[in-house]
Amino acid sequence: MVDMVNMPYALVFGSVTVLGLPLNAVSLWILLRRHSLKSPSAVFMVNLAISDLLLVISLPMRVYFYATGTWPLSATACVWIMILFHNNIRSSSIFITTICVDRLLAVVYPLRSRHLRTSSNASKAAALVWLLVVVVSIPESVDLTRFLRGNNESTCFEFNRPQRSGMAYFQPVLVFTMLVVNIVCTALVSWTLRTHLSDSARVSNKVNVMLIFVMNLVMFTVFFFPVSLVVLFDSWRPASTPLICLASVNCCLDPLLYYFSLDGFWARKEDVDTTLARVRVSDNNRWGQ
């Protein structure tokens, strides 16, 4: 039976699935095929694309639930689909912030940060992010399962927990912290591009650089932060489903971040490597190294 009340939610999640799956799959293919994992930005973007794909593959069951008003799977399946959504917000906020910090170092401290901005360090950081996400998921999944137990499974995605656990505050604090870091990075890069500090990198397209930081701030203020605050304010709970719908749209916009962040996103990996090599030679000649 079609649930007309919740049909708009089903349409939003369905649209995100239809757009997000091919966009992120193609982006991941391009990142791996043409950029490999030779730069820290590429490493973080690959992990961001994986995070978005994990979210997208969980959305069809949300479409079914909101279209029919019934939940055909177990309570455990419901919990893990909710966990995938929460983990996307957490991992995406961290990976977007690491991309932001990487761009900051590349623009403001291009020479002094070379030993830090390596694909090896980026891979280690990405592994730590996923480890953090998994560790946080364990007590959260236990908490969600405890409150779902004894309830009708058709209440999946719509139940209200009678009390907040300590884990409820982790996501808002994390997202707020990442937002502050993004604001600071945006301010520093904007100031550097305006004042042309002698130690800063020569940036050929300042509009693209600033667009990356603006997109990051939009991601946080529109998609990540509002939905993270729902658990803290009881008056916001009626708006939780619309905010979740809104937050899921972030996975459709991340491919734009890849396009503007990586020079020659569509170029072959060999061409990108040649360009980077020329830039390094130019910088070395410029700074006498």
pLDDT tens-digit series, residues 246-282: 999 999 988 877 776 665 444 444 444 444 444 444 4
Q: Please say if the pLDDT value at position 92 is more than 60.
A: yes
- Tell whether 80 is covered by a domain: yes
- Nearest of 176, 171, 177, 147 to residue 159 by alpha carbon: 147
Quick check: is 288 in a domain? no
- Quick: pLDDT tens for 155-169: 677 655 545 566 678
Closest CA to 186 of 94, 99, 126: 99
Q: Which pLDDT band holds residue 95 (cuts at 50, 70, 90)?
A: very high
Asked whether the predicted pLDDT for residue 200 surpasses 70, the reply is no
Q: At a CB cut-off of 8 Å and minimum separation 6, what does 95 contact?
A: 44, 45, 47, 48, 51, 126, 129
Write out the residue range of the structural domain in which residue 28 sits. Answer: 7-268
Residue with tokens 């994390």: 174
Say which DSSP state 165 is in: -
Task: Record the pTM.
Answer: 0.83
In a domain, 276, yes or no: no
Q: How confident is the model at residue 110 (pLDDT cuts 50, 70, 90)?
A: confident
pLDDT of residue 74: 81
Instruction: Return d(Cα 218, Cα 256) in angstroms, integer.
Output: 13
pLDDT of residue 101: 92
CATH number for the domain that contains residue 237: 1.20.1070.10
Specify the higher pLDDT residue, 285 or 78: 78
Question: Comparing C-alpha atoms, which of 1, 20, 80 is closest to residue 223?
Answer: 20
Report yes or no on 73 lying in a domain.
yes
- Examine residue 209 and state whether it is found in any structural domain, yes or no: yes
Q: Are 55 and 84 in contact (CB under 8 A)?
A: yes
Q: Could you tell me the pLDDT band of residue 77, with boundaries at 50, 70 and 90?
A: confident
Q: Quick check: is 280 in a domain?
A: no
Examine residue 274 and state whether it is found in any structural domain, yes or no. Answer: no
